[in-house]
Chains A and B, each alone.
Chain A
Amino acid sequence: MRLDTETRRRVGSGRSLSTALPWIAAHPWPRRALVAVGAAATVDRLVLALALVAGAALRLWQINRFGLNSDEAVYLGQAAAIAGDPILSQFFPIFRAHPLLFQFILALAFPIGGTDGSDLVGRLISVTVGLATVYLAYRAGTRLYGRRVGAIAALFLALMPYHVVVTRQILLDGPMTLGATLSLYLVARFAATERPVWLYAAGAGMGLTFLAKETGIILLGSIYAFLALAPEIRFRLRDLALSTAIMALVIAPFPLSIMLASGGGSQRAHQYLVWQLFRRPNHEWTFYPSTVPLAIGPLLILTALLGLWLARRRWSWQEKLLIAWIAVPMLFFQSWPTKGFQYLLPIAPPLAILAAQAVTQLGQRATASKIWRAGWLAPLLAGAIALTLLIPSWTQIQTSASERFLAGSGGVPGGREAGEWIRENTPEGARFMTVGPSMANIIQFYGHRQGKGLSVSPNPLHRNPTYEPILNPDLQLRSGELQYVVWDSFSAGRSPFFSEKLLSYARRYHGRVVHTESIPVVAPDGSVVQKPVIVIYEVRP
């Protein structure tokens, strides 16, 4: 008699096994099967432990080698402002665009690192969030398909370059994915039990997801799509309404704090909403197809698709839930004009679960096959996928710097060093003109000096309302309101026009190079040379 995954999951629990022996003795369960179940549980736990250890190692490896990128600087700057840091609060207003749950948590930890060590502390918190997501993926996978699937899904997510890279940074997408995975788990529990209390809990989880980043609200569409697609899941509309009400209550701190805390948050939030609704696309439609599959792992995606193909006859609520959890955000962000590398991160855990389920299913079929008897297939396939995830993850977290930069993909080489040089060597109150607002944010965080991006449009419809444009750069340079010009290769790669414009200002206003940050790059002849990535000019009328 073979035990299904549910049996193994239940009996495999050490607590249940130890207390159940008298009952087992009275029932005709094969003892050998029970021993096998216990061994399998140990293997699953080992896989989970491996996932957590490897995930931690990948996320912590040289985590603070490079300084913060622009988005990280903004979120940590907001946290510093919430914590009342007198310097950084001058440059980073508390209210910008997003809810403040993660910034609030960072603010609580801000005193640990202080101004100088906050980047490391913030990134460690992000790593913790990432590992918590890995664990929740394990729980969700276990809940949906059993412990073996949960453990393998956790391993896949722990090694996945997409999740590794994003959760090494202080970004909101990591916490949002944690909230999304928690909600997925809670919805799964509701679907499995049909007990309304889990639906309420899922509402609370969705509220947390929103508080981490407002785009998490899209997953509400996933839940409703799931409930619509799975008629076998019975629920009362009253419970659904109550769950939605709980979500609204958990979300309430966002509008309440904007309204009650003053500080210009309400106006800025409205401006940001208008801008987001009408802004121009920032990437081509091919952006996600060309970047995200490679970051998730092509073999993992193929395996997940294969798993869906294998499950086509069963097509249970589990598959429907995972498909809804993946499809709705994908469709939304693909059609939304604003695209960002990390925006699709919430689809990573359900994809990992699907792939893990496919691996387990294939393994079971291979083991059951009278011809193959290939018990080794599942471990081999899982190992192969894990390897295809580990290698790119390891490659991406190496310290080799690049003169190009994709937002959300990591720290900015030389940014922290340039900022610290600015703080040490330029007068307090000095103002900097940069190619774009990204380097301006980094200068403000590390340099404690005001930075303004030349590329910020004077047209309010075409700029992020949190950024101030330089209305007349010539006038401001001539009148000494801007005293330094900072060129960086990362912004220059994205805005060659403004890069050249900035350099023309440096030439026109007696620009004198006062500092350069370089990174080692491989020249065409194979030799390693130092290439400037950030150049600071002193200018004067």
Chain B
Amino acid sequence: MIRWRALFTGLTLLACLALLTGLLPQRAARAAEPQPKTPIKHVIVLMQENHSFDNYFGTYPGADGIPEGVCMPVDPADPGGECIEPFHIGNRPIEDLDHSTATALNQYNGGKMDGFVWALRLRNQEGTIAMGYYDGRDLPYYWNLVDRYVLFDRFFSSAMGGSVWNHMYWVAAQPGSEENRIPPEGYGDDVITIFDRLEERGISWKFYIQNYDPTLTFRTMGQGGPRAAQVVWCPLLNFPRFIDNPDLFSHIVPLDEYFTDLENGTLPSVAYIVPSGASEHPPGSIRAGQRFVKSLIQALMRSDAWYRSAFMVTYDDWGGWYDHVPPPKVDDYGYGFRVPAFLVSPYAKRGYIDHTELDFTSILKFIEENWGLKPLAERDARANSISNAFDFSQPPRPPSFIPEERASDEERPGPRRGVIYTAYGMGLFLAGSVIGWAAVDSRRRRGTDPVYPLRRLTRRRKRMMPRRSRGASDR
């Protein structure tokens, strides 16, 4: 008996142990990922290339767009001389406008914002095209998106310069180096990125790159040719600790995984995306860029992740294009000129234009607040969050594919249904009246004669003609 009891006790303990070892780690793993403070469990951030706010949304109704009567002097030193008015670009050819720090400062011109053409002429570019803008005819998908979701019209690039600084602000809330270029030895461990914070807290993340080549990093970018842009656009490829640590490096993946992650329900909590050919970097096709963005948003909308997600689209710098709002000076690096930025989320306010002053670090701020992370640097600590664009008091909006065609402002009149009701009603009434008249007339002729049928029959028999064969008659 004692042996049996011991055996039973042993087996029970073993079973408990098995349960503990089998279940607890899974529970622990699930519990390891902190729950966000808002319903947003997936933040997806896409950074496109090189357009100013006025270039894309300068004529968008209700936004802080191109002011009336603007005419950009060709030479700011000669205000009465030739000037260029903003114009619709349409199918005009465009070029890659210089967007170096020097050009940015010349265009800014000490806050006078009158050097947009002149600065480019200093770089041997004609410069007139900088005053061009696109509108809903050229950007139907983006304009349709912001009709339904949120457009930010005070969203500044973080640094008065080009891609390298701004991409660094995008992930690390700091420029990374004093010069707007990648240091030869890469960024050191003193530069903390949002992904370091996420990793510390066990929050899932991935960096998706279109046409990703994992052999191209800051160490090999000289051999990459045109594809070397991925090194600039994905700053993590400039961090030795990210590319030398296989675990961290495995988070940098081709964009195809974004689609499979959505299909498989494995989308990480934070996803950064950079394009390749569809970046809209002038003179690249803006239509191709829209289609690229559309494919990403549609895939999200088709997945279960939609109801818990926020998809943020922005542009790394102004690209040399005109923008009329002088960027506030917050430190030695920025802000830079305004860039287009919009948010798509089931919790986004509908058709809302957010005037909050924001920059790339505002996205970091939202991620940090959502998952309770420490700020990365002074810039993101001070930044406004994009949280004003959400309305969490409302139930999440169901997904809705946005058409690529822009509806005409002139509403086409629908068919006049009253005409159909009247016409067919009259037709029925007329037919009913004629048939009814025939029936009534027939009854009237028959009268109230009670023996009419037999009388009619007798009369008929008397005069029945053999050659005429007739059926029933009521005459």
Contact = CB atoms under 8 A, between A and B. Distances in A.
Contact of A253 (B294, B403, B427): B427
Interface residues of A, number: 80
A95 B471 CA distance: 43
A55 to B, nearest CB: 23
B291 A205 contact: no
Provide the main secondary structure of the chain A interface. helix
A261 B431 contact: no
A200 B434 contact: yes
B438 A428 contact: no
Contacts of B467: 232
Q: Which of B398, B434, B451, B468: most chain A CB closer than 10 A?
A: B434
B471 A145 contact: yes
A251 B431 CA distance: 10
Contact of A23 (B398, B414, B420, B450): B450
Nearest to A263: B415
Interface stretch (A2-10, A213-221, A276-284): A2-10
A260 B417 CA distance: 10
A260 B456 CA distance: 51
Nearest to A15: B450
Contact of A262 (B415, B441, B453): B415
A540 to B, nearest CB: 6
Interface in A1-59: 6-7, 9-11, 13, 16, 19-20, 23-24, 27, 29
A250 B427 CA distance: 5
Main secondary structure on B side of the interface with A:
helix
Contact of B426 (A11, A186, A197, A253): A253
Interface string A245-265: 010011111001100111101
A479 B416 CA distance: 36
A427 B400 CA distance: 5
B302 A483 contact: yes
A195 to B, nearest CB: 7
Contact of B301 (A94, A205, A427): A427
A403 B466 CA distance: 59
Contact of B450 (A16, A101, A145, A205): A16
Contact of A200 (B302, B438, B454, B456): B438
B454 to A, nearest CB: 6
A185 B354 CA distance: 72
B475 A19 contact: no
A198 interface: yes
Given A427-B301, A427-B399, A431-B401, A249 B472 contact: no
A314 interface: yes
Contacts of B200: none
Contact of A10 (B413, B424, B434, B453): B453
B401 to A, nearest CB: 4
A256 B471 contact: no
Contacts of B475: 192-195
A198 B415 contact: no
A540 B431 contact: no
Interface in B420-455: 420-421, 423-428, 430-432, 434-435, 437-439, 441-442, 450-455
Contact of B263 (A146, A427, A512): A512
Given A256-B419, A314-B469, A480-B294, 10 more contacts: A16-B454, A82-B420, A94-B420, A104-B425, A192-B474, A260-B419, A260-B423, A428-B399, A429-B402, A541-B295
6 contacts: A16-B450, A201-B434, A253-B427, A265-B415, A317-B469, A430-B401
Interface of A: 6-7, 9-11, 13, 16, 19-20, 23-24, 27, 29, 81-82, 84, 89, 93-95, 100-101, 104, 142-146, 182, 186, 188-189, 191-195, 197-198, 200-201, 203-205, 207-208, 211, 232, 246, 249-253, 256-257, 260-263, 265, 314, 316-318, 426-431, 479-481, 483, 510, 512, 538, 540-541
